[in-house]
Amino acid sequence: MGDRDFSGKGVLVTGAGSGIGRGIAAAFTREGAAVAVVDLHRDRTEETVRVLDGGPGRAVAVPGDVRTAEGVDRIVEEATRRLGQVDVLVNDAGVYPNCPVVEMPEDQWDDVMDTNLKGTFLMSRAVARRMIARGQGGHIVNIASGAYKSARRGASHYCASKAGIVMFSKVLAQELAEHRIHVNVVSPGLIDVGRRADVNPGYRETLMTTIPWGRMGQPSEIAAAVLFLASPGAEYITGTVLDVDGGSSAGRFFLPYSRG
């Protein structure tokens, strides 16, 4: 099997109803995988499956809630039944409201943590248990964000959840290494997911000045990094974070030269 051939592999992608998650699901189906498209919203899972229909792989809609153990058990049970087995788990489900700490309602904090961080834990635990029982190794790729290492106002819950995902993944990589289960993180920068209306234009324009590559990324570019980390070409990679951000994490690109 080539590095980018996932024929016969079962892949479960959370948050695949739109945006980056949909792009990841599309990439795996193009490479022949059977993909469980997971999202809280049934209509979004079904729309993703329609969009992906006709590729060499196949996609199935598995709506479900990653915030509870019961919801996760149902997701993994159905995905395993419909795919045969889960060889690759991609945890992309996430929410990112914006609110200063002193104004933040407790339920908003809880929702971000439950979806982004607890959901990653619950899904990883459930799938890893099955991978261990099967004894054939596997791959878990968790989606973080540049927010895991770069704070911004209004995003205390989001930044904390993404930082938590990174450290959780590093610990999990150590614990699962004896079972030959890889655990890695892809950290996207500013990605064009089409939802322009809910983003402050000033925020987006300012952030653009920090990107050496001079443009937003595409979901397909995040997907390419995920496919690499789930491939045989990444056999000796586990517990790492791959920044896919056009160079924005390299430093203060927005500054002029210090001397004229």
**How many angstroms separate the CA atoms of 238 and 137, rounded?**
12
Up-side HSE of residue 66: CA atoms within 13 Å toward CB?
35
Inter-axis angle of helices 19-30 and 219-229, nearest 10: 50
Distances from the Cα of 129 to the Cα of 1, 73, 122, 166, 171, angstroms: 25, 11, 11, 20, 16
**How many angstroms separate the CA atoms of 156 and 5, rounded?**
39
Q: Catalytic annotation on 96?
A: no
Q: Which of the following is catalytic: 96, 148, 158, 236?
A: 158
Instruction: Name the amino acid, one letter, at 207.
Output: L
Q: Give catalytic residue positions.
A: 158
